[in-house]
A and B are shown apart, each in its own frame.
Chain A
Amino acid sequence: MARTDHKKPDPAAEVGSELHDLTVTYIQVAVVLAVVTLLEVATYYVALARGLTISVLLVLSAIKFALVVLYFMHLKFDNKILAFVFSGPLLLMIAVGIALMALFGTLIYPGPVW
């Protein structure tokens, strides 16, 4: 049985000038993403302590991930249920990944065997 309700948005009503043009916002986000990517690549060529390099890269990667999800995928402005639907599996998978790496002894990376 299809559940329809009084909160139904009208797609036709969403088309038109009353909507905000997000072009400038998207370009601003893209510029930040490009700069962050440049910083990421720079860490490959700059001699930093291994732990510091890993920390910086994980933070920069998380920033890019969050910017795309929040702005390009509209999760910042969309229904909070969607944020739950996505972040639940994401966080669970991160936990599973950490557990798997711990089981294989690579969470605290021992270095390559070669």
Chain B
Amino acid sequence: MAHVHGAAEHYTSTGIHPSKLLMWLFLGSDCFFFGSLIATYQAYRGQSLVGPHPHEVFNIPYTSISAFVLLMSSLTMALAVNSIRLGNMRATRIWLLLTAMLGSIFVGGQVFEFTTFVHKGLTLEVNLFGTTFFVLTGFHGTHVTVGIIILLSLLMASLLGRLTPRQALTVEVAGLYWHFVDIVWVVIFTVVYLLPY
């Protein structure tokens, strides 16, 4: 954390902290990553010759609740950033923990959903829908899992006294990643689940 503390004192000529600029650049590149997967899903939309097809496996009420949980985790993450900027470490820890918990609920829900789909015969290789669906949502779930690890690391650092309001930018940068993961799901939820086939 001493390294992070030191880094916080060096800004580029743009006035933007390097770690923040790098995170935004990474998120820009991640747009290409997820954009490619979403475009591929769309390119093969409705082209599976054999089932199971989307309408046979999707449970919209269940996925809607998952989407809502992830959306609300963005609120708790924003509140964590707000709290540390205001110097309230206790609130920061609570919001970080709550965000990690909501993220875990989402990932747990996704694991349950995947298991259900496999039991219904939808696997990675059974048809184009299975391939594009599992690759897209699986990579998103991986991103959420990485985000949870980052949040828990920040929480641990905070409990050990290594994360203080002076490192508010560290939490803000982690928050950018988390919010990005959320907006990717906003798009996936609409494109994959809600758009009519």
Contact = CB atoms under 8 A, between A and B. Distances in A.
B85 A14 contact: yes
Interface residues of A, number: 67
B43 A100 contact: yes
B1 interface: no
A89 B31 CA distance: 7
Chain B interface size band reads 35 or more
Interface in B140-197: 165-169, 172, 175-176, 179-180, 182-183, 186-187, 189-191, 194-197
Interface in A3-55: 3-5, 7-9, 11-12, 14-17, 19, 21-23, 26-27, 29-30, 33-34, 37, 40-41, 43-44, 50, 53-54
Contact of B38 (A5, A43, A69, A97): A97
A94 B11 CA distance: 32
Contacts of A50: 196
19 contacts: A5-B12, A11-B9, A12-B166, A15-B85, A15-B87, A33-B71, A41-B60, A50-B196, A61-B186, A64-B183, A68-B183, A72-B182, A79-B16, A81-B21, A86-B27, A89-B32, A96-B36, A100-B39, A110-B46
Interface of B: 8-16, 20-21, 24-25, 27-29, 31-32, 35-36, 38-40, 42-49, 51, 53, 60-61, 64, 67-68, 71-72, 74-75, 77-79, 82, 85-87, 165-169, 172, 175-176, 179-180, 182-183, 186-187, 189-191, 194-197
